[in-house]
């Protein structure tokens, strides 16, 4: 089988009805396809069995995570080229339906008109049952999503990977959300400082105020707010590892009298009112069916005139929202039960809860740059990252962050900061009339 690459390329181009944009190198050493482009390396025939048994995105991802296939060359260029096959063909199909597109492409192999190619695919893949999924995959879940128990389990899957791993990826800031780069040559640390300070200024934090940080992560926001704005801050997270790390940072900073870290669901917070609430990169875990409950809960925890800064990833809206499907890769390997909503839906839910939306800032390009910085960090300490997690987990993260960077760059997803106010009954929002004034 010295021509496996040529046969694989023929199968791919027939299934996709277009030229395959990458060069292919197969397990037998054969190569086929255009020159001067990234190379799709198929290390084992098992990769094809994964695709035959589960055509589509999940089969591809399982092969990637298991190390059955790889990319040589520019990973971003390769992902962009591949995504162009499934996201931007013909009617510019939204990213949310790409799994269905891939399933249709795989289904072509089962069409009677392509019986000869199907037999060729089976011969290439070799005999055997479907390979088991890599251990990093979360099993499909049943029952009601976004119960407190299920949310805690989902958070543990993503955030309890190990603080050592996150230190390598995120760097000293330990901020796991979009940075804001004030200058073209700003470092990641400078950009994360700028983002935290931007949130504090939008919230108009002042000495002695009470701040609630929902989804506080490793404590960076509450530390910044207490150090530089003199607030009394409460940070809540569902991750035991994050909480332990954050408490250690708070103690080392000598701020235990100003900062409290809790392992607590936002639905269980009952010690309001707070002067301000920050929710940075947390609302993606809430789910559309629970979002109005989330917004009403935060509204009730604020004093009249208090502010909410909601920092959240958004997807592009669909012509028919009922066709929205959660990304299989993200759901099985990265954020179980995570959901993205269009920014318009987010603003609508916040206002239904009683908030007055006062400002929206889009930071899409900043997140692409942030993700590329995290990928560089991961690649720079790859062997150590593999040692503290697993080869599969490190591969999940590299793919997830690189693919997300491309999605932000191509405007398939965005990220926005929405400043909302619990306006007082008399209409007073306790907010300067101009954006320049409250950002100064």
Report whether pLDDT(94) > 80. Answer: no
The whole-number average pLDDT for the span 403-407 is 96
How much is the pLDDT for 162?
83
Question: pTM of the entire structure?
Answer: 0.90
What whole-number percentage of the chain has pLDDT above 70?
A: 90
Element (H, E) at 210: strand 210-214
How much is the pLDDT for 91?
36
CA 214 vs. chain centroid, Å, equals 17
What is the residue extent of each domain of the chain?
Answer: 4-125, 148-439
Confidence of residue 25 (pLDDT cuts 50, 70, 90): very high
Report whether pLDDT(247) > 60. Answer: yes
| Main-chain dihedrals φ then ψ at residue 349, nearest 5 degrees | -65, -40
Q: How far is CA 111 from CA 104, 114, 324, in A?
A: 11, 6, 26
How much is the pLDDT for 111?
55
The whole-number average pLDDT for the span 17-46 is 95
* Residues sharing a CB contact under 8 Å with residue 93, sequence separation 6 or more, in sequence order: 86, 87, 101
How much is the pLDDT for 332?
87
CATH architecture of 148-439: 3-Layer(aba) Sandwich (3.40)
Report whether pLDDT(114) > 70. Answer: no
Confidence of residue 156 (pLDDT cuts 50, 70, 90): confident
Question: Which residue reads 């543990």 in tokens?
Answer: 156
How much is the pLDDT for 432?
79
How much is the pLDDT for 118?
66
| Main-chain dihedrals φ then ψ at residue 39, nearest 5 degrees | -110, 125
Higher pLDDT, 224 or 428: 224
Report whether pLDDT(404) > 70. Answer: yes
The chain-wide mean pLDDT, for the chain, equals: 89
């Amino acid at each position: 089988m010295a021509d496996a690459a040529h046969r694989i390329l023929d199968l791919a181009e027939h299934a996709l009805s277009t030229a395959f944009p990458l060069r292919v190198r197969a397990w037998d050493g054969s190569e086929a396809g255009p020159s001067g482009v990234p190379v799709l390396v198929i290390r084992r025939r098992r990769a094809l069995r994964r695709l035959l048994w589960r055509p589509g995105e999940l089969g591809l991802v399982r092969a990637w995570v298991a190390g059955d296939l790889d990319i040589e060359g520019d990973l971003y260029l390769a992902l962009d080229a591949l995504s162009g096959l499934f996201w931007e063909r013909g009617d510019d199909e939204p990213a949310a339906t790409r799994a269905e597109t891939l399933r249709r492409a795989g289904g072509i192999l089962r069409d009677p008109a392509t019986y000869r190619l199907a037999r060729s695919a089976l011969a290439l893949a070799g005999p055997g049952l479907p390979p088991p999924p890599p251990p990093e995959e979360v099993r499909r879940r049943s029952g009601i999503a976004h119960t407190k128990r299920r949310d805690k389990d989902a958070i543990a899957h993503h955030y309890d990977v190990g603080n050592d791993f996150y230190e390598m990826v995120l760097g000293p800031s330990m901020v796991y959300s979009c940075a804001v780069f004030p200058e073209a040559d700003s470092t990641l640390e400078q950009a994360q400082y700028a983002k935290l300070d931007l949130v504090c200024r939008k919230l108009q934090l002042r000495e002695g105020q009470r701040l609630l940080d929902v989804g506080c992560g490793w404590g960076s926001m509450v530390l910044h707010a207490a150090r530089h704005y003199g607030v009394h801050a409460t940070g809540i997270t569902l991750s035991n590892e994050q909480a332990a790390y954050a408490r250690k940072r708070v103690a080392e900073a000598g701020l235990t009298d100003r900062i409290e870290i809790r392992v607590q669901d936002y639905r269980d917070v009952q010690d309001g009112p707070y002067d301000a609430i920050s929710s940075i990169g947390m609302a993606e875990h809430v789910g559309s069916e629970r979002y109005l409950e989330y917004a009403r809960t935060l509204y009730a925890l604020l004093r009249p005139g208090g502010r909410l800064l909601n920092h959240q990833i958004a997807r592009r809206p669909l012509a028919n929202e009922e066709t929205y499907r959660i990304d299989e890769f993200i759901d099985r390997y990265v954020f179980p039960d995570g959901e993205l909503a269009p920014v318009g839906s987010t603003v609508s839910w916040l206002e239904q809860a009683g908030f007055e939306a006062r400002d929206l800032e889009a930071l899409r390009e900043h997140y692409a740059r942030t993700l590329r910085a995290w990928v560089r960090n991961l690649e720079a300490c790859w062997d150590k990252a593999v040692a503290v997690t697993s080869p599969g987990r490190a591969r999940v993260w590299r793919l997830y962050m690189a693919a997300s960077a491309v999605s932000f760059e191509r405007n398939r997803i965005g990220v926005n900061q929405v400043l909302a106010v619990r306006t007082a009954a008399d209409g007073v929002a306790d907010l300067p009339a101009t954006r320049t004034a409250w950002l100064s």
